[in-house]
Amino acid sequence: MIELLPLFMFLAVCLVILLGYPVAFSLAGTALLFAAFGTAIGHFDTAFLQALPNRLYGTMINQTLVAIPLFILMGIMLEKSKLAEDLLNNMARLFGRVRGGLGISVVVVGTLLAASTGIVGATVVTMGLMSLPTMLKRGYNPAFAAGTICATGTLGQIIPPSIALVLLGDILSTAYAQAQLSMGIFAPKTVSVGDLFMGAVIPGLILVACYCTYIWFYARLRPDDAPTGDGEDKVSTLALLLSLAPPLLLIFAVLGSILSGIATPTEAAGVGAFGASVLALLRRQLSRQRLQEVLEGTVEVTAMVFMILIGAAIFSLVFRGFGGEELVTSLFASIPGGALGATLVVMLTIFVLGFILDFIEITFVVVPIVGPALLAMGVDPIWLGIMIAVNLQTSFLTPPFGFALFYLRGVAPKEVLTSDIYRGVMPYIGIQLAVLLLLALWPALVTWLPGLMH
């Protein structure tokens, strides 16, 4: 029974979070209570907690994690400068006479916004406020409109530069090194955030293409649910280019510098934050009050991420002190099917946890626990990272607990029922599960581009 204490601790954390306590303090508090209990019964060595200062210092000097506040600043600045709003209006006018054109415009703009913010909640809320009233006014079916916005918002999980991929890249890098050391490899290979960005490009484009294809067919099968925008003014090519060029140039500058190896993700994030600020300034959207809002929002989100990181560090040390790593390794070894069976169990577990935990908690808590064991069994780290990201993206859409559904419910008009949102996301859940299966059957869709770049 004592050997199962790590599992009891994990279950206790999930329960405390479900009760509504802050995640960071739930992680740290539960771990410390279990550590005190383990010390009292002589089953926990407090020397593990003495490693906490070194762990936190390592976090403070981690250059990769500096990218997080910079990408957050870039996303919030672009959101406040109303670039996405202008782009959506012009795209809607361009595709207005195409059946389902507004839905396709929402996917395209949402993709660019996801690439800019990298945060699911911010993308869903922004797209919900901007596009849902417009779609309903045009006569779009409420379920179809809500489902399209929710699904588009979750692209922030997989479209680089994604905050989720930055965090996953840092955690998987450590897990991959641990796995190789456990296998007796003392000159370990490395995996970087840039590798995950490259691995996410093709799966992200596949998802966007599948979304647009579904909208195109749906609009022809049920034309009354996705009418055309007859009678609207056409948009000039110049107006479209002026609205499309700034975000595209910024995204290509950030991603291009990372994928080409010119800059690290942290350096590219700095370029992105500066570029977004310049765009807001040129558009005369950068007043003193707006700048204060942007900086306060950046500090708030960044503080949340790093507080959870501190709580997760305490949890990880106590989990290791109870022999949790050995327990997980032995459990994986007993699962039928070897690495494939263990990966399937982990994916199902992460999918369920995605109902109650945000991607940050899952990245900081679950991935360090299961990552080293899976990678030691020969699973490719880049493929594993992208599979986790797409998996979480799917769970965030799945009723009744999907985070994206809650975000949209908070900003949707009263005439859009919760049942409408649930029905609307079902086809997109099917699309994402199909893409997840596709990536499982053909891992080269993830690993080919990073291998080519290397």
pLDDT band of residue 398 (cuts 50, 70, 90) is: confident
Contacts of 106 (CB under 8 A, 6+ apart): 88, 127, 131, 135, 148, 149, 152
Cα–Cα distance for residue pair 393/79, rounded to 1 Å: 21
pLDDT band at 233 (very low <50, low <70, confident <90, very high): low
pLDDT, residue 213, reads: 93
DSSP string, 115-162: HHH--HHHHHHHHHHHHHHHHHHTT--HHHHHHHHHHHHGGGGTSSS-
Other Cβ atoms less than 10 A from the Cβ of 20: the count is: 7
Model confidence pLDDT, tens digit, residues 261-305: 788 878 888 888 888 888 888 877 778 888 888 888 888 878 887
Confidence of residue 232 (pLDDT cuts 50, 70, 90): low
Q: What is the pLDDT of residue 122?
A: 66
Least confident of 65-69, 378-382, 425-429: 65-69
What b/e readout covers 199-225, taking b as 16+ CB neighbours within 10 angstroms? bbbbbbebbbebbbebbbebbeeeeeb
- The pLDDT score that the predictor gives to residue 117 is 59
Instruction: Quote the Cα angle for 48-187-262, to 5°.
Output: 100
Per cent of the chain over pLDDT 90 is: 13
Across 311-325, 373-387, 400-414, the highest mean pLDDT is recorded for 373-387
State the pTM of this model.
0.81
* pLDDT at 10 (0 to 100): 82
**Rounded-to-integer distance, Cα 135 and Cα 407, Å:** 18
pLDDT score recorded for residue 96 = 65
Residue 149 buriedness (CB in 10 A; 0-12 / 13-18 / 19+): buried
301-355 pLDDT per residue, tens: 788 878 888 888 888 888 888 887 777 778 777 788 778 888 898 898 888 887 7
Higher pLDDT pick, 260 / 57: 57
Percent of the chain predicted with pLDDT > 70: 93
The whole-number average pLDDT for the span 39-54 is: 84
Average pLDDT over residues 389-401: 84
How does the average pLDDT of the chain come out, rounded? 82
Q: Quick check: 94 pLDDT over 60?
A: yes
Mean pLDDT of 183-201: 81
Res 207: pLDDT: 93
The model's pLDDT over 25-45, given as tens digits with 9 standing for 90+, comes to 888 899 899 999 888 888 888
Which residues lie closer than 8 Å to 6 by C-beta, 6 or more apart?
A: 319, 322, 323, 324, 327, 328
